[in-house]
Chains A and B, each alone.
Chain A
């Protein structure tokens, strides 16, 4: 069966510090990978998606970047965090092909607080 891991679970960082959140998927190959953010009281906002190694697309301009160095690894980064980067970050994967019906499977999330 497929599993998706995210770490760390919780992170408190000062403004201006760097960020690296990691996501790995097991039990599947060639997944589509996604990074979402849920700000307080808001819905899920898609930040980045990737259809393959080294292929990253950004949905919204922001202070963050993403990388996919391996097939099942997705990293979210920032060089200098802003207060507005606080939120709950979720990684997700989906299977290739239209038969997936758009269904995505989410990791446990990382709660980021920028002070």
Chain B
């Protein structure tokens, strides 16, 4: 049962254009959503997050939109740059199944973004 889904395994975008990466989830108990960026043979690095009580969060070229009724979030990168080429993971956070103060992250399978010149 995949609670977080990224249905596009890859995306190619021209430099300077907008990249839109999508993510769907099934569990309405998630309280934070996060995007991570991962280069080959490296650990993921945190990009941006959004609380479930908001519908938009912006940080420089990166904006995350949350549509709770559709259980859908998206990451917009504007303008896209060649250095943005990486695998992007969507993740959802909640206290389900954890005791104490830890939160579990459930990851999607990732979308490989390639920004072309």
Q: Which residues of B have CB within 8 Å of A46?
A: 104-106
* Interface-lining segment among A11-19, A66-74, A88-96: A88-96
Q: How far is the CA of A106 from the CA of B42 in the complex (A)?
A: 9
For residues 1 through 45 of chain B, which have their beta carbon under 8 Å from a beta carbon of chain A?
6, 31-32, 34, 36, 41-45
Report the Cα distance A44→B100, complex, angstroms: 23
Q: Are A49 and B89 in contact (CB under 8 A)?
A: no
**Interface size classification for chain A:** 20 to 34
Q: Restricting to B61-117, which residues have a CB under 8 Å from any CB of A?
A: 89, 91-95, 98-110
What B residues does A97 contact at CB under 8 A? 101
A6, A45, A94, A105: the one contacting B103 at CB < 8 Å is A94
Which A1-43 residues have C-beta < 8 A from chain B? 4, 6, 32, 42-43
Q: Which of B89, B94, B98 contacts A44 (CB 8 A)?
A: B89
Among the interface residues A43, A51, A90, A96, which one has the most CB atoms of the partner chain B within 10 A? A43
Q: How far is the CB of B38 from chain A (nearest CB, A)?
A: 8
Q: Evaluate contact between A109 and B102: CB separation under 8 angstroms.
A: no
CA distance A103 to B93 in the complex (A): 8
Docked-complex contact B49 and A101, CB < 8 angstroms: yes
18 A-B Cβ contacts within 8 A? A43-B6, A43-B108, A44-B91, A46-B105, A49-B104, A51-B101, A96-B101, A98-B95, A101-B34, A102-B34, A102-B49, A102-B92, A102-B93, A102-B103, A102-B105, A103-B34, A103-B46, A111-B41
* Interface set of A (CB-CB < 8 Å, partner B): 4, 6, 32, 42-46, 49, 51-52, 88, 90, 92, 94, 96-98, 100-109, 111
Q: Which 4 A-B pairs have the closest CB atoms?
A: A102-B93, A106-B43, A43-B109, A44-B107
